[in-house]
């Protein structure tokens, strides 16, 4: 059942399932909380209370906002956690990975641990030579087409590259759902705004994170020439010993949707370790 929370500038939608310690799931740009549809059941079965959030401008959250930065998204996520009686483990994919970093740095009492999936958390640099790598060339050009021109065709084409090889069993339905959402008024505006939002605010907060961090990257993520190096840069920024990187072989930018069993297994092990440490 969808619930709604009024925050400064609009309304955030979310759904909650299960009981136990709180886990909050935040999806990437151009998507909705449905990205976690296969992740939620096993987390609930493992004894967690799981809240899946629609980012501002996405899913069933209100569409028209003035700020698409990771800092603004972090504020929304913290508001949801306060409303649900945190603290929580916060899971963020892509742009929401950067937002999760900011949330943890700003409100350490509300965030017990972070999981970042293919996160855009560090300041990015791009070199023309990167385009020699086929998956980078395909991903970058399609992402640019979607972010600059609001092209639905380019976004669907990017998703095909971002899910190399294996696709979810409900792939056609998933694409149709994303397509339908982005054709609603102002939804594509949200995607364009997030694509254009640089992760410099998240990068600036990385060294201020004081909770354990798990970064999960796909080896074939089309957004980085070296996904391992990108993930390593994130886990090495907080104080020594807090971060850990896990790679999922063959996964692209959506490891939680391509390989949910492996992703959930890593998350549960991390949760249990964090609980034992606490």
What residues contact 218, with CB distance under 8 A and at least 6 apart? 118, 227, 247, 248, 250, 251, 252, 253, 254, 255, 258
Using CA atoms, how far residue 45 sits from 2, 49, 86, 112, 260, in Å, is: 20, 10, 20, 20, 14
pLDDT(147) > 70:
yes
Average pLDDT of every residue of the chain: 92
User: Which pLDDT value is given to residue 40?
Assistant: 98
User: Which pLDDT value is given to residue 131?
Assistant: 64
pLDDT(240) > 80:
no
Residue ranges of domains in the chain, CATH in brackets: 3-277 (3.40.50.1820)
pLDDT digits (tens, 9 = 90+) for 225-238: 899 999 999 999 88
H helix intervals, the chain: 40-45, 70-83, 95-106, 134-149, 152-162, 171-182, 187-195, 200-205, 227-235, 255-258, 260-277
User: Which pLDDT value is given to residue 77?
Assistant: 98
Q: β-strand 88-93 against 49-53: which pairing, if any? A: unpaired
pLDDT digits (tens, 9 = 90+) for 57-111: 999 999 999 999 999 999 999 999 999 998 999 999 999 999 999 999 999 999 9
pLDDT(129) > 70:
no
Under the phi-then-psi rule, with left for phi > 0, alpha for psi from -120 to 50, and beta for the rest, what region is 103? alpha
Top-confidence residue, 239 or 11: 11
Question: 15: which DSSP letter?
Answer: E
């Amino acid at each position: 059942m969808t619930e709604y929370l009024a925050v400064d500038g609009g309304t955030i939608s979310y759904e909650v399932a299960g009981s136990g310690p709180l886990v909050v799931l935040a999806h990437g740009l151009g998507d909705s909380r449905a990205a976690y549809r296969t992740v939620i059941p096993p987390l609930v079965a493992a004894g967690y209370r799981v809240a899946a959030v629609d980012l501002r401008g996405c899913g069933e959250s209100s569409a028209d906002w003035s700020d698409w930065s990771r800092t603004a998204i972090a504020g929304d996520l913290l508001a949801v956690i306060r409303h649900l009686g945190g603290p929580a483990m916060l899971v963020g994919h892509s742009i929401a990975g950067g937002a999760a970093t900011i949330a943890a740095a700003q409100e350490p009492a509300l965030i017990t641990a972070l999981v970042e999936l293919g996160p855009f958390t560090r300041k990015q640099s791009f070199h023309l030579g990167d385009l020699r790598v086929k998956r980078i060339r395909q991903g970058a050009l399609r992402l640019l087409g979607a972010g600059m021109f609001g092209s639905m065709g380019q976004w669907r084409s990017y998703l095909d590259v971002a899910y190399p090889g294996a696709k979810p069993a409900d792939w056609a339905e998933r694409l149709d759902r994303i397509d339908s959402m982005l054709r609603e008024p102002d939804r594509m505006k949200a995607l364009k705004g997030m694509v254009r939002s640089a992760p410099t605010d998240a990068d600036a907060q990385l060294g201020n994170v004081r909770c354990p961090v798990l970064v999960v990257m796909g080896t074939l993520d089309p957004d980085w020439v070296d996904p391992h190096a990108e993930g390593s840069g994130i886990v090495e920024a907080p104080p020594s010993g807090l971060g850990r990187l896990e790679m999922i072989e063959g996964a692209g930018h959506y490891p939680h949707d391509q390989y949910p069993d492996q992703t959930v297994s890593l998350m549960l092990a991390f949760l249990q370790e964090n609980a034992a440490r606490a």
